[in-house]
Amino acid sequence: MDPSFIIVQFISGLTMATLLFLVASGLTLIFGVGNVFNFAHGSFYMLGAYFAYEAVSTLHTNFWVGILFAAGGAGIAGILAESLFLKRIYGRSEEGGFQLLLTYSFILVIDDIVKIVWGTEYKSVLRPAGFHGSLEIWGLTLPLYNIAIIVIGLLVVVIAWFTLSHTRPGRVARATAIDRETMAAMGVNVPLTMTLVFGIATALGGFAGALAAPLRSVTPGAGIEVIIDSLIVVVIGGMGNFWGAWLGALILGEVMAFAVAIIPEWASVVSYVVMVLVLIFKPEGLFSPRQVRTV
């Protein structure tokens, strides 16, 4: 195996890892702060991809404006879903199961709405101007757009980390995750915090979907694949663990990139194998010290 092959696949894996991280971090954020597992998170990713398509091909906006439009649209959709539906079942007994069912119904509804609005055919979004070509370094051909994704992803990681750990809204979100009642007693509007966190997380999902749109064609039903991949990421990294999600995404992205290049037909099975191995040897996640078991 020659080294240039390894480097090219590594970059491709890094691109995949960045997109996975953007989705999985939103999933982890909602779970950490709101204690909600958003089954429909992948559907917001898909919505983001369609919003980007709509902005670029129908409204003829600039690609980057389209990305922001997509993130905003997915965020608003998330805020609506949370405040109109999900909010009604907080605190109900045996809440967990019903939350899953409600977010599952979001998947079905969003999938069909997408089919009604955009049809079932594949849609494609062109790469932005200036990012069509590739970078030639040391005889390697690295697609410029993939590199752009990696850089943007790193920026988002740093911004998210800084916001969560060094700003007041971040502290409020983290404190709400630990003790909702005390936060309410201290005058924090907890329901509003949860809604906003949900909106930010779904916006991250939509952002990832829009960024991925030029690489993968946009289709309805993409939501379920994405949610399972991000689930595998959080299983590897440990749920509610920001850096765990990042490392989990990195591992899964690289494994998938090399699997696609070496055994293309069975690549989709390999990611499950990684998950099963983690479950056997460290069920609480590779980077999580605490037990996940909550029964």
Partner 1 sequence: MEYRKSILSVAFVIILAVGFAVAPLAHTSGYQIMLASHILVWGLFAISFNMLWGVTGMLSFGQALYYGLGAYSVGLFVKHVGAAWFVPGMFVGLALSVVISLLIGLLVIRVGGVFFTVLTLAFGQLAWQITFRWYDFTGGDDGIQGIIAPGILSDRIVYYYFTLAIVLISIWLLLRLSQSPMGVLLRCVRQNPARVPFLGQSVRMSQLRIYVISCFFTTLAGSLMAGVDNSIHTDMLYWTTSGEVILMSVLGGIGQFFGPLIGAGAIIVIQDIVGARTEYWPLFIGILMMIIVLLFPRGVVGEFQALRIKLTSFARRGG
Contacts with partner 1, residue ranges (CB under 8 A): 31, 37, 39, 85, 88-89, 92, 94, 96-102, 104-109, 111-113, 115-116, 224, 228, 231-232, 235, 239, 265-266, 268-269, 272, 275-276, 279-280, 283-284, 292-295
Between 104 and 243, name the residue whose CB sits nearer to partner 1.
104
User: Which two tokens mark 255?
Assistant: 């494994």
Least distance (Å) from partner 1 to the CB of residue 18? 22
Between 26 and 143, name the residue whose CB sits nearer to partner 1.
26
Least distance (Å) from partner 1 to the CB of residue 281? 11
Between 69 and 198, name the residue whose CB sits nearer to partner 1.
198
Least distance (Å) from partner 1 to the CB of residue 136? 36
Least distance (Å) from partner 1 to the CB of residue 142? 30
Between 208 and 239, name the residue whose CB sits nearer to partner 1.
239
Least distance (Å) from partner 1 to the CB of residue 82? 13
Least distance (Å) from partner 1 to the CB of residue 80? 13
Contact 122, 219 (CB under 8 A): yes
Between 45 and 63, name the residue whose CB sits nearer to partner 1.
45
